[in-house]
Structure formats: C-alpha cells, structure tokens
Amino acid sequence: NLKIKKGEILGIIGQAGSGKSTLLKLLNRSYEPSLGKIYIGSEDIDKYSNEKIKESIVLISQKPDFFKVSIKENVVLGRENITDEDVINALKRSCAWEFVKNLPNGINTVLENNASNLSGGQKQRVSIARCFIGNPKIILLDDSTSALDKKTETEVWKNIYDYVSKNKITTVVCSQKISAFKYADNILVLANGKIEAIDKKENIEKVMIHYSVGNGYYFTMAGKAVLNQHFLDNVKTRMQELADMC
C-alpha cells in the first residue's frame, strides 16, 4: 500500500522497467488496476469523470504528446477559463517563454505533427507549462526534464516546487536523477513494481545502496549485496550528492 498526503512531494526512483511510469499512469487512470483501489481523499478514482480527471490530475511525461494546433492550445488542453496571460505565465515558469516569444505568432504558433518544429528540450518545456495551468490537485512528473541542460533544469525544478508548495498540490516526481528530488518530502525506491524502501531524503541513504550506482541509481536494501571497491567509491560520490542536496 502507498499513501501520499495532500500537498506532499514524493520522489520515486527506479531503474528502467521498475514500474515508475506504470504507477503514474494508474494514478491518472490511463491504466486500470487489475487489483486494489486508488482513492483521492475518500473518493474512489473510478467515480471520477474523464473531465474531472483532466481538471484534477496533470501528467507530464518524458516524451509528451502534442497536437497540430497552437502552442496555447497544446498548453491549455481544453481546460476552461484560461487566458493568454495565464499561458504566458505558465510558459515563463517552464522556461519556454524565452523562445516562444520570438516565434512569429508567439503562443498562437501552430505546431507540426508531434511538434517536429520544436527541439526535444523545447517540447519538454512547453509540456511542463501544462502543470501551471488551472488548479490541479495532483501533478505527476515522469522524467519530464531529461532533455534540459543543467542550468535550465535547475530553474524549472525550482519553479515547479515553488508553485506546488505555494498551492499545496500533491506532486509525484519520477526520475533517474537524484537532483530531481532536491525539494521532495520523501523518496520511494521502486524495484520490479514493488516498494523497496521509502523514507525522508535525509535518511534515504540508509536504504539506497545497490542500484547501478555508476549511473546515479540505487536499488535494494543495504546489506543485500556484496560490494566491490569501485561500487563503494560510486556510492560515496552519490551520498555526497545527497548531502549537498539536503
């Protein structure tokens, strides 16, 4: 079982195939659970209409979908009572306004199929702007800054965390980068679809040990692996990252 408090920022780390994306797609009802129930507060998510899901939960994926309509429409996604100013402010928070403002038609620029007229990083920044629109209860971020340079990524994450903290939005962040969890309240380690460990980030180094450390990943509980010196050296480096983050 997993309980996430209202307004909590939960980080989820796990190797490719560990179930991170599947978990997020269960939370926004893209997938239906084969067993068990998902509740928002005391309400079964099955009772949510598609419209209520769209208003309440925003999922920002690593490879976002786009439609052959304007940037504005791709950010708003049919949500009502959103002004041009709202869209521009959202684009500023996602660091996308710096290039959108220079396009011939600004936010009214029409995107090509799959936004082929944008780079990978530009696509991610436009998609991240979606989470700053409306009043979502839950924001789900799935490796959503993987194509951004370090400076832009740092600024985007700060803007996201400032926004969700101010508005008490429950936020789940899936990433393979420890740096994405700088502001997280808790970090969950996912392995083969199961919760391997969960703790506050200040304590997570006690349980994050065997997880392809050379790439910045951690996996099983301390004590379950025989560690070589190269592995231990990498653990030390990653633990320093955590110390700097906390």
pTM, two decimals, is 0.83
Q: Is the pLDDT score of 235 beyond 90?
A: no
- Residue bearing the bigger pLDDT, 238 or 32: 32
Q: Is the pLDDT score of 2 beyond 50?
A: yes
Confidence of residue 236 (pLDDT cuts 50, 70, 90): low
Over its C-alpha atoms, the chain yields an Rg (Å, rounded) of: 19
Out of 91-95, 145-149, 172-176, 233-237, pick the least confident: 233-237
Strand partners, 171: 9, 139
Per-residue pLDDT, 204: 62
Q: Which helix (H) or strand (E) holds 44?
A: strand 43-44
Read off the pLDDT of residues 27-44 as tens digits, 9 standing for 90 and up: 999 999 888 999 998 999
- Residue bearing the bigger pLDDT, 223 or 204: 204
- Residue bearing the bigger pLDDT, 238 or 157: 157
Tokens standing for residue 27? 């939370």
How many whole angstroms separate alpha carbon 140 and alpha carbon 169? Answer: 10
Q: Is the pLDDT score of 17 beyond 60?
A: yes
* Contact predicate 27/38, CB 8 Å: yes
How many whole angstroms separate alpha carbon 51 and alpha carbon 56? Answer: 9
Read off the pLDDT of residues 44-96 as tens digits, 9 standing for 90 and up: 999 999 889 989 999 999 999 999 999 999 999 999 899 999 999 999 999 99
Read off the pLDDT of residues 170-194 as tens digits, 9 standing for 90 and up: 999 998 777 788 889 998 888 888 8
How many whole angstroms separate alpha carbon 98 and alpha carbon 116? Answer: 19
Average pLDDT over residues 107-133: 96
Question: HEC string of 92-148?
Answer: HHCCCHHHHCCCCCHHHCECCHHHCCCCHHHHHHHHHHHHHCCCCCEEEEECCCCCC
| Neighbouring C-beta atoms of residue 176, cutoff 10 Å | 18
Average pLDDT over residues 211-220: 41
Average pLDDT over residues 206-220: 44
Residue 214: C-alpha distances to residues 17, 187, 209 (Å): 18, 20, 12
Per-residue pLDDT, 193: 86
